[in-house]
């Protein structure tokens, strides 16, 4: 038995991340080991979780992997902790098709209750029918209690408590409105200064939780049997993972990892560690590319560090030489910038020369958001991922996409995948926690 729950809200802006970070810090102060998770493909909140909890945060997304896999990684990572907390995304019941892919589906899959975080700005007793609806809409989703955010006064909170009582919900407390509490822009790198700022924010919220939330009651209400039981038919992957790459542990895998390149799934790293020995390097600071059999260049915000990357001329040349020698490279989103001929960091900005390993330009000019789940089919199977970016990859004439990518509707997407020698590059962040990435080649 251990306390386990999912923090959800009625929609975006409900204060899930605020409550999550404060809760992680409050439990850390009590010497409670927490395993954080994140619903969906977001790789920014997972970085925040890791910063505050000192534990790798794991993405749970039923669009990217099977139900058994979600349960397997939840049980595997959760075993190490005293408490398991899953931060939701968007609204509790918001899925790609009704509830499919929603936070509610994850809660049912893991057999854990929900703590509803409700933004109380501009509402008081009228929240009662909203809470009643959420409690009774789907009885298979167990809502253990409610925490309100942006509460402006004791009388305001009393109205909210009355609403909870009349809606049949347990009120666990609140976070007061704090006009000094400002989260940094999500479009930024996790620098030392930003880490300090986020730590200060988490500590401030933790103080509010300690003063206004019944944390002991919350943890008691969410005590559940662990590990969660598997959905039938069950397919064991624990043994499969151990056997999948047996004999290949001598593989040398190099991963770009610093403040400019850190948009990746932790489960990807764990899968790669099953394949061989991982060595990390910093495209911003490293002088040499480590010897490797595979180079993984994940996404990030290279445009914020264009000048620094441009100055690593020796390293960029080594990357190009590695490509020309036939080295295996998987580049995702911002990782493609290192392989490009040039990087343009903003509209009308300077053009910074990169390695030139691929005949493309990586540019933020005319930036527009493109997002969605993607699937690629290859001889060894299929790979699922998520596309979320503003940058464009502009290919030279004659350099065309080599594989078809499909969107969530099963129709072909116009998102390109480029291949040059043993380089596979594109704007999708792939999830290979349940796949064999080596078969891409």
Residue-wise pLDDT for 83-125, tens only, equals 999 999 999 999 988 999 999 999 999 999 999 999 999 999 9
Ranges of each domain in the chain: 2-224, 242-440
Q: 56 vs 81, 345, 352, 391, CA distance in Å? A: 11, 30, 34, 28
**Residue 242 pLDDT greater than 70, yes or no:** no
Residue 88 phi, psi (nearest 5): -80, -175
Residue 154 near residue 176, CB atoms below 8 Å: no
| β-bridge partners, 100 | 97
- Tell me if 67 sits within 8 A of 432, measured CB to CB: no
Confirm whether 2-224 and 242-440 share one CATH topology: yes
Q: Give CA angle at 384 (269, 366), nearest 5°.
A: 95
Return d(Cα 309, Cα 189) in angstroms, integer.
14
Give the Cα-Cα-Cα angle 319, 324, 328 (nearest 5 degrees). Answer: 70
Tens digit of each residue's pLDDT (9 = 90 or more) over 7-42: 999 998 889 999 999 999 999 999 999 999 999 999
Number of alpha carbons in the 13 Å side-chain half-sphere of residue 208: 24
For β-strands 342-344 and 294-297, DSSP reports them as: unpaired
Yes or no: domain 2-224 corresponds to CATH 3.40.50.620: no
Residue in 225, 5, 221, 8 with CA at minimum distance from that of residue 113: 5
CATH of domain 242-440: 3.40.50.880
Question: Is 199 strand, coil or helix?
Answer: helix
Residues with a known catalytic role: 333
Tokens standing for residue 330: 């998987």
Q: Would the pLDDT of 208 be above 50?
A: yes
Q: 405-406 and 370-378: which strand pairing?
A: antiparallel
Q: What is the mean pLDDT of the chain?
A: 93
Q: How far is 312 from 27, CA to CA, in rounded Å?
A: 42
pTM: 0.94
For the chain, percent of residues with pLDDT exceeding 90: 80
């Amino acid at each position: 038995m251990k306390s386990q729950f999912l923090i959800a809200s009625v929609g975006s802006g409900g204060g899930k991340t605020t409550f999550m970070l404060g809760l992680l810090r409050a439990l850390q102060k009590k010497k409670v080991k927490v395993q954080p998770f994140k619903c969906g493909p977001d790789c920014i909140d997972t970085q925040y979780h890791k910063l505050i909890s000192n534990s790798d945060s794991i993405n749970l997304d039923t669009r990217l992997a099977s139900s058994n896999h979600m349960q397997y990684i939840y049980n595997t990572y959760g075993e190490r902790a005293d408490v398991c907390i899953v931060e939701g995304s968007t609204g509790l019941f918001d899925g790609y098709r009704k509830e499919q892919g929603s936070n509610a589906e994850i809660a049912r899959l893991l057999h854990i209750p929900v703590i509803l975080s409700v933004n109380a700005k501009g509402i008081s007793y009228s929240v009662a029918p909203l809470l009643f609806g959420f409690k009774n809409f789907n009885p298979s989703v167990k809502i253990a209690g409610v925490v309100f955010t942006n509460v402006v006064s004791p009388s305001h909170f009393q109205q909210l408590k009355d609403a909870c009582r009349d809606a049949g919900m347990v009120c666990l407390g609140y976070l007061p409105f704090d006009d000094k509490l400002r989260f940094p822009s999500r479009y930024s790198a996790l620098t030392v200064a930003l880490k300090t700022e986020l730590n200060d924010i988490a500590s401030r919220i933790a103080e509010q939780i300690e003063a206004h939330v019944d944390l002991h009651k919350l943890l008691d209400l969410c005590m559940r049997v662990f590990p969660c039981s598997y959905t039938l038919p069950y397919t064991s992957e624990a043994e499969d993972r151990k056997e999948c790459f047996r004999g290949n542990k001598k593989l040398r895998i190099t991963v770009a990892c610093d403040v400019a390149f850190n948009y990746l799934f932790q489960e990807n790293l764990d899968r790669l560690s099953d394949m061989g020995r991982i060595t990390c390097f910093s495209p911003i600071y490293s002088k040499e590319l480590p010897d490797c059999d595979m180079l993984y260049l994940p996404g990030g915000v290279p445009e914020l560090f264009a000048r620094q990357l441009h100055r690593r001329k020796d390293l960029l040349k080594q990357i190009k030489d590695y490509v020309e020698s036939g080295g295996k490279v998987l580049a995702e989103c911002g990782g493609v910038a290192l392989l490009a001929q040039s990087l343009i960091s903003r509209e009308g900005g300077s053009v910074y020369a990169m390695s030139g390993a691929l005949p493309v330009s990586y540019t933020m000019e005319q930036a527009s958001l493109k997002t969605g789940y993607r699937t690629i089919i290859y001889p060894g199977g299929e790979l699922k991922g998520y596309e979320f970016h503003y940058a464009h990859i502009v290919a030279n004439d004659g350099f065309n996409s080599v594989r078809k990518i499909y969107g969530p509707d099963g129709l072909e997407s116009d998102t390109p995948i480029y291949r040059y020698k043993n380089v596979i590059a594109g704007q999708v962040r792939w999830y290979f926690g349940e796949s064999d990435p080596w078969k891409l080649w």
